[in-house]
Every structure is written in structure tokens, then in C-alpha cells.
Amino acid sequence: MERWVEETLHRGFRVRLKADRVLFDSETEHQHLVIFENEDFGRVMMLDHVVQLATKDDFIYHEMMAHVPLFAHGRAKKALIIGGGDGGVLREALKHPELEDITLCEIDRSVLTLCREHFPDISAGAYDDPRTRIVIADGTKFVAETDDRFDLIMVDSTDPIGPGAVLFTKEFYTGCRRCLKPGGILVTQNGLPFLQADELKQSVGFFRGLFRDAFAYLATTPSYFGGPMSYGWATDYVEARRYRIDAIERRYADAGAFPTRYWRPDVHVASFALPNYIRELVE
């Protein structure tokens, strides 16, 4: 008998993916988690009925979450990932030789355990890299209490439902501001502006009260149905999103010009060129 798994994130429409083979389907301590095979998207993970990861297009989201802020900063030594238990953003960040230390703060240990088992190519050994430190904790509590200070914070969260809801609050962003070093950069997963406009508008509004520069950039990941994905952007380092292609190319060369499948210097620069309907949300 055929099984179809339904995504229920949006109020006005739902998407179903055929589950050719279900590998895991159960409640964890914090959320409902399903892992299955799909002919078009590869191996898929859904949390609370929302697609989080698909192996055929994960490179888009993970490269853009990591490489845009890292190359924009240019001298980051210490980074923090909130969420990101699948290890994809961690994998991409570790490609930057200048990074000396990366903390991964994930609330749900089951995500790490299951992704080690079912998605080993996503993390590609990143969990065990000597520069990696894994903390199982609530991200809001971590940024409010840690004594560490970071050059970069990447919030690879779920949507604002379930345990991910607190990662879209002013309290959380204030905590991130607290533990950023001077000139540090905060980037966040901020949903699909066409369908989740209020989410992006609210987050950038919070950023504007905390940072000198509050904006967003875009990338399109096919398994996130409904248009381009927005990444929130916040920093006091105003020049960070205004570098020209030649400057990003130099930084990429200095980092070893490692292979990428989506990110590239011209895509980096172009990702900050927002259509008017999105620009109106962030200005």
C-alpha cells in the first residue's frame, strides 16, 4: 500500500511526498520525527510534519547558511550554530580553515543520533572534527547564559512551531546580540517571504532594535515549498553585506576555493538583491 507523508506548515495549502520507504516514524522527547525515502528528493526528514532536510537539495540551504556570513565576515575564528542537528551547516562551516572553534547547540539529542544513522553524508564527519563542540541545550537559554563570545551565530532552526518557536523571539535575539563579539554577524532561517511574510518582518524588526544593520538574503531550495527561502541578517558590521564580487573572490581563494554546488561569489553578492515585495518587509 502506498504511503504519502503530508507537510502541514501552511494554512492555505498542503504538500504530500510519497514515502517509498519509511526508515523512522516516532515521537522524540521534543517533536514528531519521520525519515523516509522519496524518488525525487532523496532521503527526507520531517519534524512536526514540516520538511527539514532532503538529501538531493540540502547543499543549497547549508551552503548559503554558512558561506554567506563566513565570507562576509572574512576573519571569523569562533562560531555558534543554534539547531542544525543534521550537521549540514556544521559541515560547510568547517570548510573554512580560519575557523578555530564551532559550537553546535541542539535541543533534541535524538536528531543528532538519528542523523548520524540515517544521514551520514550530511554531516560527513563534522560531528567528530576536533574543532566541533556539541552542546545539548535550549538555544535561548544557551545564548543568555554562556560566557563564550562568537564572531558568527548561525540559527539553523525549524519554523516557529514546537521547540523552534522560542528562536524567533526578541528575547532570543537579544541573547544572540549579547554573546556576539564586536563586528559579529547573526544569520537566521526566516522562512518563505511569499507565505510567511510576518515571520521575516517581525524578526528583522527585532534586529533593527539591536543592530546597526538588519536585512535579509535569499536562496531557493526546492524541498521548501512556496518560493525562495529568506535568511535574516543582523550585524553592527555594516560593510559586511556590501562587499563587491572581487573581494569575495579573494576571500574564497584564500580559503582554498573548496568545491561548492550552489554558493559562489557572484551568487553571494546577488543573494542580497531583494525583490520589492521582500524588500518592503525588511526596510
Copy the grid coordinates of residue 266.
557572484
Could you tell me the pTM of the whole model?
Answer: 0.95
- Cα separation, 166 vs 161, in Å, equals 9
- Name the 3-class secondary structure at 11: coil
25 is known as an active-site residue: no
Catalytic residue among 20, 156, 236, 246: 156
Mean pLDDT calculated for residue range 126-154: 97
Average pLDDT of the residues in 44-58: 95
- In the chain, pLDDT over 90 holds for what percent of residues? 88
Higher pLDDT pick, 251 / 166 = 251
Place of cell 542537528: 85
What confidence score (pLDDT) does residue 158 get? 74
Q: Report CA-CA distances (Å) from 166 to 109, 110, 188.
A: 18, 19, 13
Q: What is the pLDDT of residue 153?
A: 98
- Whether the pLDDT of residue 164 is over 70: the answer is no
Return the higher-pLDDT residue of 244 and 13. Answer: 244
pLDDT in tens, 169-222: 999 999 999 999 999 999 999 999 999 999 999 999 999 999 999 999 999 999
Give me the helix-helix angle, 170-178 and 197-208, nearest 10°: 40
Strands (E), 9-90: 15-18, 21-27, 32-38, 42-47, 50-54, 78-83
Measured in degrees and rounded to the nearest 5, phi and psi for residue 218 equal -130, 155
Cβ contact 233:211 at 8 Å: no
How many other β-carbons are positioned within 10 Å of the β-carbon of residue 235? 24
Distance CA 270, CA 244 (A): 10
How far from chain centre, in Å, is Cα 168? Answer: 13
Residues contacting 196, CB < 8 A, separation 6+: 159, 190
Mean pLDDT of the chain: 95
pLDDT score at 166: 79
Enumerate the domain spans of the chain: 4-54, 58-282
Task: Supply φ then ψ for residue 113, to 5 degrees.
Answer: -60, -45
- pLDDT tens digits, 214-253: 999 999 999 999 999 999 999 999 999 999 999 999 999 9
Q: Give the HSE-up count for residue 49: Cα atoms under 13 Å, Cβ half-sphere.
A: 13
Mean predicted confidence (pLDDT) in 108-130:
95
Indicate if the pLDDT at residue 278 is higher than 90. Answer: yes
Q: What is the pLDDT of residue 190?
A: 94
Domain 58-282 CATH (choose: 3.20.10.10, 3.40.1800.10, 3.40.50.150, 1.10.490.10) = 3.40.50.150
Q: Does position 163 have pLDDT exceeding 70, yes or no?
A: no
Secondary structure (3-state) at 130? coil
pLDDT band at 161 (very low <50, low <70, confident <90, very high): low
| Residue 257, SS3 per DSSP | coil
CATH code given to domain 4-54: 2.30.140.10
10 Å Cβ neighbour count for 183? 15
